[in-house]
Structure 1
């Protein structure tokens, strides 16, 4: 049996459009498209359809509200996703369940200075990478640290055999990934560079899920590539300034997701 959402999608595919007018449901359809069976099904699902359309309308309105930059001198709230992760971490402070560790292989002549500059710029550019989550009166807030230059630790593994290098990398990855983050202190992003030979490196990137997701990680790598390409040529930062940061989104989300909107989401 189709869900009400799937039923509405079916109607749209037939060019049958449903709209709400107060507590009434109006239907616009091409001639012959609205069969007696479909009319009966619409009547049967009327209450659910109106509820879904009202929610969709509210979401559309919220998406049109622009996110504004908020002052940084107050208590910045967490987004709901961040608060979930913060809460779970409090239940098991030694947990490494939400640690992410990526190993990025770098082949060729590496400009370590430019790489260091690129990582520093990314941390400066994205406040969330400088954010920790201390508690005030039992409630977490976002604390954004000032930007500082990154000192990239480098481990030289060139004297080891290929087999020994693999074993050493696996051991380091396992050790780093198992070390829990302190969300209140941070930093919640860590970099380590391993040199395997003159033209072979591995960059280890460790972050806590509270400051990243899969989508933001792809942005991170894309921007790292552009910054490194520019800095190796002595060019300035090619990335445009960011009008808002994640803290601004979190504040916006808290303002929007209240009252009736929150009640519908909870239900």
Structure 2
């Protein structure tokens, strides 16, 4: 009796002897930006601990995480035969601990964040590693700030949530003298990379590529938004400017109820408001016919297999979400179109954007890792959940995330981010100062907020009427 073959969808452990292949996403970075040191290519995770933190125990927890997840110990040796990854035996560097207690009390936290930001932007050497740094700053007896800095080539946003959750679970268990109980990891990232190489070929590759070829018909894989500020930006070096507005809990409940009534999610509703706002502005730059093809840039988790649910690594992929509509489309119908665009992209997310562009032979391959000035003016859109209340925090400690003041390099042009928080939704609009002015950006964000309110309040309103109503026209 013959042994049945394993499903090609099943990710299984691969031998660690010999050359270990990199993922297609890692390959793009290594081919086009191995030596480019952009802040955007790093992920610093800042956590403020309030309470009696045991720093020695915290270091032990971080070491356990490092041994548990090979992605925290990966590096990429220079190999004339091709791109490979290597797994370092340990974390290489100890936890760095400093104090700012000699600083004036009202300036200590800012000083701590500045020190962590300075450490976070230090270059990584991809060929030798380590690509995972840890630093703790003691602000006072009851306040510490931890920063875990990782190179994006090894980590994605869902992995960050896993690391935070497991860090807290480890600390709680070890502080209580219990053996930690973490989810079983059937595979590690090198196993995923090897599986991806074997899976994405032949008929599977052609089927997935067929969908994306259709999506990119007439547009680039990194699509231009078509948005122009007639007044232009300001002279001088490009800066990343952030504006934000807040949607309170009552409005958030209404938006969630509206999404539920359509059988969709928050990201589809906010995405429809974003695309409607972009449509209105594209009327002035590309004309009526082209305005209704709105393509945004965003991210997909690409965790379609149960083996990857607790896996730390760079599995996510950027993607282009293209929706076609016109001014007569109702807001509720637009939400449906945006939702289907997202759903279809998720069904085809196993092929990373990097491989799509390589298969297409597109000149944008590697553009995200090169000179930011050469990037097309795309609009990036994502809805994220950074709420710490979803984590079981260590007893006796209160932990919150903090953003470090690192000088992010402006790429593309525009970014809309929705942050779901316990008390509502924060809408953030980021723009390049050399391409867009403050007045234009403020008006865009305000218009987006109004469209979201009008559209969810009156779903049968047609897209063009959202702006007619706002302007007081019949």
Q: TM-score, normalised by structure 1?
A: 0.71
- Contact persistence 2:95–2:133 (CA under 8 A): no
Q: How does 1:181-260 map to 2 (within 5 A)?
A: 181-260=124-203
* Match for residue 89 of structure 1 among 6, 15, 33: 33
Q: Assess, with a 3 A threshold, how the Cα gap between structure 1 residues 149 and 93 changes in structure 2: closer, same or farther.
A: closer
Closer, same or farther: CA 226–63 of 1 in aligned 2, 3 Å: farther
Distance 2:11 2:200 in 1: 13
Give matches, 1:97-116, under 5 Å: 97-116=40-59
1:162: how far off?
3.1
1:173 is displaced (CA, Å) by 3.4
Unaligned 5+ segments in structure 2 are 1-5, 214-474
Root-mean-square deviation (Å): 2.1
Tell me if structure 1 keeps the 8 A contact 2:93–2:130: no
In the TM superposition, residue 120 of structure 1 has moved relative to its aligned partner by: 0.4
Report the CA distance between 1:86 and its aligned residue.
2.5
Task: Report deviation, 1:98.
Answer: 0.6
Deviation at 1:148, TM superposition (A): 5.5
Query: Which of these residues, 60, 75, 79, is aligned with residue 19 of structure 2?
Result: 75
Superposed displacement of residue 113, structure 1: 1.8
* Conserved? CA contact 2:116–2:135, under 8 Å: no
Contact 1:79 1:250 in 2 (8 A): yes
1:206 Cα deviation from its structure 2 partner:
0.6
**Separation in 2 of the partners of 1:218 and 1:229?**
17
Structure 1 unpaired stretches of 5+? 1-61
- Distance (whole Å) between structure 2 residues aligned to residue 99 and residue 199 of structure 1: 29
Q: CA deviation at 1:167?
A: 3.6
Report how many aligned residue pairs link the two structures.
205
Contact 1:157 1:165 in 2 (8 A): yes
Q: Partner residue of 1:26?
A: none
Please give the alpha-carbon distance, in whole angstroms, between the structure 2 residues aligned to 1:225 and 1:166. Answer: 22
Flag the 1:150–1:109 CA change in 2: closer, same or farther, 3 A. farther
- Partner Cα separation in structure 2 for residue 252 and residue 241 of structure 1: 19
Deviation at 1:83, TM superposition (A): 1.6
Q: Tell me if the contact between 1:89 and 1:95 (Cα under 8 Å) persists in the aligned partners.
A: no
Alpha-carbon distance in 2 for matches of 1:210, 1:130: 12
Deviates more, 1:74-83 or 1:235-244: 235-244
Equivalent residue of 2:161, what SS?
helix
1:82-128 per-position Cα deviation (integer Å, ceiling 9, x unaligned): 222323423x5333321111210001111112111110000000011
Specify the alignment match of 2:111 in structure 1: 168
Distance in 1, Cα, partners of 2:91 & 2:125: 20
Contact kept, 8 Å, 2:136 with 2:145, in 1: the verdict is yes
Alpha-carbon distance between aligned partners in 1 of 2:129 and 2:159, rounded to the nearest angstrom: 19
CA distance, structure 2, for counterparts of residue 204 and residue 148 of structure 1: 15
Distance apart, 1:204 and its partner CA: 1.0
The 8 Å contact of residues 134 and 183 in structure 1, kept in 2 or not, is answered as: yes
The change in CA–CA distance for 1:171 and 1:67 in structure 2 (over 3 A counts) is: same
* Distance across 1 between alignment mates of 2:92 and 2:85: 21
Q: Distance in 2 between matches of 1:209 and 1:148?
A: 17
Shift of 1:149: 8.2
Q: TM-score, normalised by structure 2?
A: 0.41
Superposition deviation, residue 75 in structure 1 = 0.7
Change (3 A) 1:138 1:96: farther
Q: What is the CA–CA distance in structure 1 between the aligned matches of 2:65 and 2:93, rounded to whole Å?
A: 10
* The 10-residue stretch of structure 1 (144-153 or 193-202) with the greater mean CA deviation from structure 2: 144-153
Larger helix percent: 1
